[in-house]
Structure 1
């Protein structure tokens, strides 16, 4: 039995079952991001709130250990912190201040932000660096009508005073373009945040390809609004991304299920 497995078994015995379930789900998400190529060496973050049933109502969340690649993240090495950035689980791993500052302000300031995801994909940063931002010109961006927020670039997110401005920029919009920086999504559940980010990423992928060939063909406002209403992937009554996330977990497990340790 590996040392990592022993460590995971020991932690699982110490934490609330609901926290362990959250750890497993978040670790799977990190591995899925790695599988999709949504990684930036050891940087960027996905954070998930610890359920109130496990935290006693205190706002705590799980974040990746700084220094590990997403493919190395597992349930037991995720780091539990509070809104002050204090490590609560005795983890030997540090956390990235840039991730803590950005994610904690959203968890604390945006009602329902149970999960927050941030990426620096090429297409995402490219669109974030355009003055015009996301173009309402393809199948994916048409499903995000009225759902996209923008936040102006203020440098690396390590200063707490930027937090209120981030929250004000986001409002209630789940798809966020951090100008000159990258993409962000949040949701009441991890699968919902994933569905939003995947759609935003695909919209950027297609926009980047389109603009390399010529001017995009705009989708009329009324059609885009209708597409967003008709899209079921964000609807809690239609699983809100859970079925898609479950399918990716099954794909992941066919190759490696060590994220559960």
Structure 2
């Protein structure tokens, strides 16, 4: 069996960077556990605090092989900054670097190719207000049309325009993207969007007439969520529990 190279960066990076590495690696393992992965493809990136550097998965590793130490550190041009045996997927980081560049609050960006997000994104009516989960996404949802594999840097500007101030993005024929000020926020936004797409497809599969949620309720959902979370975000509330779950699943991500 061919094993992936093993690295240990715990004592060679700053405590802030190591914490980001732990959270990002945990996110990869949780995404894989939930069945949202796509072999070695798709990406989750996170900004190293107080730097212009970013962490992303090594190209060629499955999500259940990602560890805090084998994440690759790059700049916005995708240049690898540390000595590492790994490369990155240039097409994948084109999308992430565009979002990180345009949004100072995008400390974490998750881009996935789940069946359900591709299906709903590709429907002409897109995501519909058919569940509570959909409300969270519809309150801050953009769309970016498919242009093929993201290797054309000219696409970056169009992607940035389409994401605008939104926190969720549906990409017809392609998948979904969420961002957040923390790994936990981006993860919970993807969780809500994924569940919304799953539920919509289940409802539509019945062929029965659905009861939509009123527009004014969709518009007020974030204010209501603020009451539930007592001023913090859903990611801040849920992430500690998700991190504990990642340790229970397989603590090797933290190596």
Q: With the length of structure 1 as denominator, give the TM-score of the two structures.
A: 0.91
2: distance between equivalents of 1:73 and 1:67? Answer: 10
Q: Is the 8 A contact 1:233 1:241 kept in 2?
A: no
Q: Aligned pair 1:187/2:185, yes or no?
A: no
2: distance between equivalents of 1:183 and 1:97? Answer: 18
Question: What residue is the counterpart of 1:259 in the other structure?
Answer: 253
2: distance between equivalents of 1:76 and 1:4? Answer: 12
| Greater Cα offset, 93-102 or 238-247 | 238-247
* TM-aligned CA distance change 1:255 to 1:110, over 3 Å: closer
Q: Residue 241 of structure 2: which of 229, 238, 247 is its match?
A: 247
Question: What residue is the counterpart of 1:7 in the other structure?
Answer: 7
Question: What residue is the counterpart of 2:39 in the other structure?
Answer: 41
2: distance between equivalents of 1:139 and 1:91? Answer: 43
Q: Residue 90 of structure 1: which of 61, 67, 83 is its match?
A: 83
Q: With the length of structure 2 as denominator, give the TM-score of the two structures.
A: 0.93
| Greater Cα offset, 79-88 or 222-231 | 222-231
Consecutive unaligned residues of structure 2, counting only runs of 5 or more, are none
Q: Residue 19 of structure 2: which of 10, 13, 21 is its match?
A: 21
* TM-aligned CA distance change 1:97 to 1:144, over 3 Å: same
2: distance between equivalents of 1:233 and 1:141? Answer: 18
Displacement of 1:190: 1.1
Q: How well do the aligned residues superpose, as a CA RMSD in angstroms? A: 2.0
2: distance between equivalents of 1:192 and 1:146? Answer: 15
Consecutive unaligned residues of structure 1, counting only runs of 5 or more, are none
- Superposition pairs of residues 116-135 of structure 1, within 5 angstroms: 116-135=109-128
Displacement of 1:165: 0.5
Displacement of 1:233: 9.1
Q: Is the 8 A contact 2:139 2:218 kept in 1?
A: no
Displacement of 1:83: 1.1
Q: How many residues get paired?
A: 252
Q: Is the 8 A contact 2:129 2:213 kept in 1?
A: yes
* TM-aligned CA distance change 1:165 to 1:224, over 3 Å: same
1: distance between equivalents of 2:31 and 2:138? Answer: 25
1: distance between equivalents of 2:90 and 2:125? Answer: 30
Displacement of 1:260: 0.8
Displacement of 1:135: 0.6
